[in-house]
Amino acid sequence: MNGFPAPASRHQRTAALFPPDRPLRLEKGGTLSQVRVAYEEFGHPDPHRPNTVFVCHALTGTSHVTRHSPDDFPGWWEEMVGPGRPIDTNHLHVVCANVLGGCAGTTGPWTPGPTGRPLAADFPAITVGDMVTVHRRLLVHLGSTGLHAVVGGSLGGMQALEWLLRHPGDARRFLLIATGARLSTDALAAHAAGRAAIRADPAFAAGRYPEHPDARGPVEGLGVARMIAHLTYMSPKSLETKFARRPQPLAPAADPAYGPYAVERYLEHQARTFVTRFDANSYLHLTAAMDHYDAFARPTAPLPPEDRRPTVQVFSFASDRLFAATDTDHLMTHLSTLGLPLTHHRDITSEAGHDAFLLRVPGYLTAVAEAFAIHDSPRPGPQPVSTR
């Protein structure tokens, strides 16, 4: 099995944070020191005003949000970030970092432990709050003088929500996209089935497969996990529109246990491509962090003075199965009690489901662009991020 991180953009940088005398104290116990954080920057910071936007990525995303140049390879949010896009890098400075526990350059299960071998199953449990703590420390490392916005979709939206609730004075606005304050039972069940598939793969070896560099690792189980998850990212209507019951059989000599349908070939393709770029232990840790997140289960931080309070904008999709209308209602009900300027844009045009937040959905993209086009009133800007 290939080691991680996977091949990265040539623009990716790495910061070493949390020295041994000031380690990262994890919310579920334990510490990590010398945390390596892989990040990318797009656009340029403005010395005269806070123009930095921190983008928090979703479950299997990376720091590579968009192209840096025409000859660069595509990023995962090309529709949203870049020159002339809703988050316009002609005017805004964008920072995105691979999350703690990921497998694209930031400290995670493939990070070497004291023995020199990957931590693998010994990597500690992490939370959405831990991810935000690392993001904020990165901004201090970069010398940030204040954030224009924090933006995220899905798991990234959970990170943005956690940032808002614990550090509301860090940014002028928070955009929470295709996300919720906690996962529904339906979503928990999908994650549980995916993790069970990984653990049931004989090559999982109790999570210690990285100790056997010639082994393939639990690629079959991880592929099945991706197939299960992908069904929560699409809507039933989008599956019907794209595939219906159209046949796309395998070769005649193939195992007859395989179905003859195009949708099956599509999910198999998703599995094959996913296992080449993602790590099973990272998948277990990140889905567990999503499952355990319950944003309003503990008190929120005090709000800054009224003239420094951020605006909050929620974007949801009627076709989203992973974060359905009931999840958005729960989020909005709790957010409305905070006393912050709050708006909600709900898209009813896209059939794409949860993945709509990554796609060209004109009304939604226009609404985000309008959110960033609003000129800030002459009020004090956000304070520089401080971890003290």
User: Does residue 63 have an active-site annotation?
Assistant: no
Contact criterion met (CB below 8 Å) for 283 and 173: no
Position 171, amino acid? A
Does domain 186-290 fall under CATH 1.10.1740.110? My reply is yes
Closest by CA to 207, choosing from 109, 275, 288, is 109
Name the DSSP letter for residue 183. Answer: -
Q: Give the sign of the dihedral formed by CA 110, CA 157, CA 80, CA 49.
A: negative
Q: List 311's β-bridge partners, or say none.
A: 173
Instruction: Write out pLDDT tens, residues 123-139.
Output: 999 999 999 999 999 99
Query: Binning pLDDT at 50, 70 and 90, where does residue 224 land?
Result: very high
User: Does residue 320 have an active-site annotation?
Assistant: yes
Closest by CA to 34, choosing from 106, 96, 103, is 106
Contact criterion met (CB below 8 Å) for 123 and 31: no
| CATH superfamily of this structure's domain 13-184+298-373 | Alpha/Beta hydrolase fold, catalytic domain (3.40.50.1820)
pLDDT at 375: 54
In our burial notation (b when 16+ CB lie closer than 10 A, e otherwise), range 96-125 reads bbbbbbbbbbbbbbbbeeeeeebbbbebeb
Name the DSSP letter for residue 261. Answer: B
CA torsion, ordered 161, 294, 235, 275, to nearest 10 deg: 90
Phi, psi of 327 (to 5 degrees): -70, -40
Mean pLDDT of the chain, nearest integer: 93
pLDDT at 240: 97
pTM for this predicted structure: 0.94
Instruction: Write out pLDDT tens, residues 48-86.
Output: 889 999 999 999 999 999 999 999 999 999 999 999 999
Of the listed 64, 93, 285, 354, which one is catalytic?
354
Of the listed 63, 144, 154, 238, which one is catalytic?
154
User: Does residue 141 have an active-site annotation?
Assistant: no
pLDDT at 251: 62
Contact criterion met (CB below 8 Å) for 122 and 368: no
Q: How far apart are CA 144 and CA 164, in angstroms?
A: 17
Q: Where are the domains of the chain?
A: 13-184+298-373, 186-290
Indicate the helix (H) or strand (E) that contains 268: helix 262-275
Q: Which range has the worst mean pLDDT, 57-71, 241-255, 270-284, 343-357? A: 241-255
Of the listed 279, 320, 327, 347, which one is catalytic?
320
Instruction: Write out pLDDT tens, residues 13-56.
Output: 999 999 999 999 999 999 999 999 999 999 999 988 899 999 99
